[in-house]
Structure 1
Amino acid sequence: MSLLEKYPVIDGTIELYAALSLDSTPNLLRQRADLNFTNEHGNTPLHYACFWGYKEIAEDLVHHDAKVAIANKYGDTPLDKSRGNLAKSLHDIALEAGQDLKKISFKDQSWLGLKTRSRDATLSRHKGINIKELFQHEQLASTPSGMTYRGTWQKNDVVAKILNIREVTSRISRDFNEEFPKLRIFSHPNILPVIGCCNSTPYLVVLSQYMPLGSLYSVLHESSGVVVDNAQALRFAVDVARGMAFLHSLERIIPEYRLNSRHVIIDDDLTARINMADAKFSFQEKGRIYHPAWMSPEALTKKVTDRNWEASDMWSFAILLWELATREVPFADLNPMEAGMKIALEGLRITIKPGISSHLSKLIKICMNEDPGKRPKFDMIVPILDKMKR
């Protein structure tokens, strides 16, 4: 039973009710909403539960991973708002759950539009983006799917991806408007949402929050300055698994998303977040594959409509687990076309190397079962990874 089903009316506390879920849905926990979501004051649902002295609600929240150390914009954590023995009770529950009790400073995210976003993701508020100015900013990457620039919007650092489209026809423009809102997923801490877009002929631009550390691929294989030991690698794995479990709990998203380390962004607090800006729109690069090393054999040989996409994502996750464990690029000695052909037609598979723990090795093999129907679901492996992490 969810919190809102147990407490449909909480003494008129509208702030708590609203904070518990952006859309006020009654199935908060089943929908895996972010319990650590903050409002413009930096308060989480746990802040309000503690302030009003709702002990059972507060304890329920912490049992479901609500953080006791998140500080609001005034520097107060939920524990600071607790009365009587509630602070000690929540402190003990958090310790038992393995929470880090170091205070998490307030981070103003009001500019993201989380509180006032329109249901249909109206694009008018993003039409003021100056495309010509973007070309004068730092170019972060140039890929077949588009050029990515670092820019500013509402005085905040953003990443602007200009899609590589030969001609923005009226149909493509319409499809972009229909598909873009599906990438505005603000309700999970391991998803990096698209925060805005610009549909202005001849450009289609997708905006997301700038993360200085870049992608998981960069952190693992390029000079990022981040030390990734086995413990941190497992934390990244748990983050990605949680994010994918959330995506799989939704109706299938369009555009298409392909999991690999280039499409996972690392936040400045070393949280891994699946980057929705890397999804492919229906009109974009049909039939083209650029990173087959992470893809399942059936994803390389079958039509999108003929394969189990959840199972294909699980195979990709297994490759990512191997990548995290070895800190190596899969099939680095082959070019993408060679790797794709050998995986699809010649049975090429990653080799489990000595030094990888037996538990992780077994999980990788299970997630790469040659029979897609026998691969586990993400919500099944999250608790397994959580146990490995401790």
Structure 2
Amino acid sequence: MEDIFHWCREGNAIQMRLWLDEVEHDMNQGDDHGFSPLHWCAKEGHTKLVDMLLQRGARVNATNMGDDIPLHLAAAHGHKEIVIMLLKEKSDVNATNEHGNSALHYACFWSYEDICEELINYGALVLLANKDGDTPLDKAKPVLAKQLHDFAESNGQELKKISFKDQSWLGLKTRSRDATLSRFKGINATDLDLHSKLAVSSSGETWRGRWQKNDIIAKILNIRNLTARISRDFNEEFPKLRIFSHPNILPIIGACNTPLNLIVINQYMPRGSLFNLLHGAAGVVVDTSQAVRFALDIARGMAYLHSLEKILPIYYLNSHHVMIDDDLTARINMGDAKFSFQERGRIFQPQWMAPEALQRKPADINWEACDMWSFAICIWELSTREIPFSGFSPMECGSKIALEGLRIKIPMGTLFHLSKLIQICMNEDPGKRPKFEMVIPILDKMKR
């Protein structure tokens, strides 16, 4: 494996760009100490590389093994421009590492006055105590401490010491991903520890388990007769779903091809699918702002998939197939793609499908336009928090959509711009539906 971390430390922009252009490479993977490429570039002060990584969706709040986020490293090494870039990308200005130190603790200790002021402008707390009870002002020299005290006061901070609270047990940290997730393609089935069956569907069984000390989801495909040809096709197709290079795509991290089973392996997502988040027993509240962010994530992921050369497996967009990462990023699950040897003609979740996808032969369908219709149903679902056509069985629903003109109804009170977008994306003429790259700027404006 190429040493991406060495190139980050060196600031080798050419090699970095070439590496990032390969879809199988995971920009959020960590080295042996959990340092992601963004950690290293922030530490070494490579501004252009930090910008490149942020534009491609690198996780700004990923932690290394010491719970440092990139902002800690940029502030500690005096890289003001990078500090500002990270803050603009919503870096957690009061994130604390294993010692309880925030980025401001380090900026104060090294007397980086301009960085201290930038951090305070973005809400850094001057009296946030670390594990030893020291605040950032305690780490600063007296003159700087007085200056920052007055600056924080003028910014409206309540100047009352905040005691350290250990929250590591809450599991809120977003770790850099283990590099093993993107290094291996073929996985030996004996190395998998599958301990909990989560679901059984027509396409197979879904299990939760462990592999290489990573939490995983394993999908055992339902194949009645596993022939040599099917096995060969599987080996050719699954690597095309190892798309690590986009933050809104959840790749297959590997697969097992045994004489009895075909198994697809995904990273475990604790929050589950978007469907479960919206309609599950947990009753998670998704406000309009978060709904727009989810829609934007889905649009970005689908736009990226449509920009790639056509992959053999077919992907049906719906909220069951969108997974929610621990930092509330929506990711298109490649583990839910259909392989060429699976039953392509059978539709199990028609509620999200365009009418022409239920009426025509696969060869006669504009799948990109169908994806846009499915996206509109997802937006409706995010807006209403309802399950589409919940009063019908899947068979009834598919028949009525295809033959009787059954369509979702946008309720009164739906945000005007979302309502308009749903209508545009569900144009009965597939050729008049927008492309995903046209929808992204609209959602991006709505997000602000």
TM-score by length of 1: 0.83
Alpha-carbon distance, 1:305 to partner: 1.8
Counterparts of 2:263 and 2:312 in 1: how far apart (Å)?
17
Q: Which residue of 2 aligns with 1:54?
A: 46
Greater Rg, structure 1 or structure 2? 2
Which shows bigger deviation, 169-178 or 226-235? 226-235
Q: Which residue of 2 aligns with 1:285?
A: 343
How do residues 143-162 of structure 1 correspond to structure 2 at under 5 angstroms?
Answer: 143-162=201-220
In structure 2, which of residues 272, 277, 281 is the aligned counterpart of residue 214 of structure 1?
272
Q: 1:109 to 1:292 in 2, by over 3 A?
A: same
1:22-74 deviation per Cα after TM superposition (whole angstroms, max 9, x unaligned):
x526x69xx89876554444334443333333345445655666555443333
Counterparts of 1:83 and 1:324 in 2: how far apart (Å)?
38
Q: Which residue of 1 aligns with 2:103?
A: none
Pair 1:253-2:311 in alignment: yes
In structure 1, which of residues 345, 358, 365 is the aligned counterpart of residue 416 of structure 2?
358
Alpha-carbon distance, 1:340 to partner: 1.1
In structure 2, which of residues 67, 70, 83 is the aligned counterpart of residue 78 of structure 1?
70
Q: Which residue of 2 aligns with 1:385?
A: 443
In structure 2, which of residues 2, 5, 10 is the aligned counterpart of residue 13 of structure 1?
10
In structure 1, which of residues 94, 106, 109 is the aligned counterpart of residue 177 of structure 2?
109
Q: Give, as a single letter, the amino acid of the residue that structure 1 aligns with 2:222.
A: N
Q: Secondary structure at the match of 1:149?
A: strand
In structure 2, which of residues 190, 194, 199 is the aligned counterpart of residue 128 of structure 1?
190
Q: 1:146 to 1:85 in 2, by over 3 A?
A: closer
Pair 1:226-2:284 in alignment: yes
- Does structure 2 retain, via aligned residues, the 8 Å contact 1:53–1:83? no
Q: 1:69 to 1:144 in 2, by over 3 A?
A: closer
Which shows bigger deviation, 263-272 or 103-112? 103-112
Counterparts of 1:220 and 1:84 in 2: how far apart (Å)?
40
Q: Give, as a single letter, the amino acid of the residue that structure 1 aligns with 2:440.
A: V
Q: Give, as a single letter, the amino acid of the residue that structure 2 aligns with 1:256.
A: I
Segments of 5+ residues of structure 2 without an aligned counterpart are 1-6, 96-171
Which shows bigger deviation, 34-43 or 176-185? 34-43
Counterparts of 1:60 and 1:218 in 2: how far apart (Å)?
34
Counterparts of 1:35 and 1:152 in 2: how far apart (Å)?
22
Q: Give, as a single letter, the amino acid of the residue that structure 2 aligns with 1:54.
A: H
Q: Secondary structure at the match of 2:265?
A: strand
Q: Give, as a single letter, the amino acid of the residue that structure 2 aligns with 1:364.
A: I
- Does structure 1 retain, via aligned residues, the 8 Å contact 2:230–2:341? yes
Q: 1:139 to 1:292 in 2, by over 3 A?
A: same
1:84-133 deviation per Cα after TM superposition (whole angstroms, max 9, x unaligned):
9964434444445555545484525326432x34xxx3x2x424346xx7
Q: Give, as a single letter, the amino acid of the residue that structure 2 aligns with 1:126.
A: N
Q: Give, as a single letter, the amino acid of the residue that structure 2 aligns with 1:107.
A: R
1:127-167 deviation per Cα after TM superposition (whole angstroms, max 9, x unaligned):
4346xx74xx3211110011111222223322111111111
Alpha-carbon distance, 1:269 to partner: 2.3
- Does structure 1 retain, via aligned residues, the 8 Å contact 2:43–2:73? yes
Counterparts of 2:405 and 2:34 in 1: how far apart (Å)?
51
- Does structure 2 retain, via aligned residues, the 8 Å contact 1:63–1:93? no
Which shows bigger deviation, 276-285 or 205-214? 205-214
Q: Secondary structure at the match of 2:63?
A: coil
Q: Give, as a single letter, the amino acid of the residue that structure 2 aligns with 1:184.
A: R
Q: Which residue of 2 aligns with 1:334?
A: 392
- Does structure 2 retain, via aligned residues, the 8 Å contact 1:71–1:77? yes
- Does structure 1 retain, via aligned residues, the 8 Å contact 2:299–2:436? yes
Counterparts of 1:105 and 1:164 in 2: how far apart (Å)?
36
How do residues 231-250 of structure 1 correspond to structure 2 at under 5 angstroms?
Answer: 231-250=289-308
Q: Give, as a single letter, the amino acid of the residue that structure 1 aligns with 2:409.
A: T
Q: Give, as a single letter, the amino acid of the residue that structure 2 aligns with 1:76.
A: D
- Does structure 1 retain, via aligned residues, the 8 Å contact 2:56–2:246? no
- Does structure 2 retain, via aligned residues, the 8 Å contact 1:318–1:367? yes
Counterparts of 1:102 and 1:304 in 2: how far apart (Å)?
52
Counterparts of 2:77 and 2:175 in 1: how far apart (Å)?
29
Q: Give, as a single letter, the amino acid of the residue that structure 1 aligns with 2:190.
A: G
1:287-311 deviation per Cα after TM superposition (whole angstroms, max 9, x unaligned):
1001111001111112222111111
Pair 1:199-2:267 in alignment: no
Counterparts of 2:33 and 2:178 in 1: how far apart (Å)?
9
Q: 1:102 to 1:333 in 2, by over 3 A?
A: farther
Q: 1:57 to 1:209 in 2, by over 3 A?
A: closer
Q: Give, as a single letter, the amino acid of the residue that structure 2 aligns with 1:138.
A: S
Which shows bigger deviation, 188-197 or 285-294? 188-197
Q: Secondary structure at the match of 2:388?
A: coil
Q: Which residue of 2 aligns with 1:318?
A: 376
Alpha-carbon distance, 1:285 to partner: 1.6
- Does structure 1 retain, via aligned residues, the 8 Å contact 2:42–2:74? yes
Q: Secondary structure at the match of 1:198?
A: strand
The count of residues paired between Structure 1 and Structure 2 equals: 367
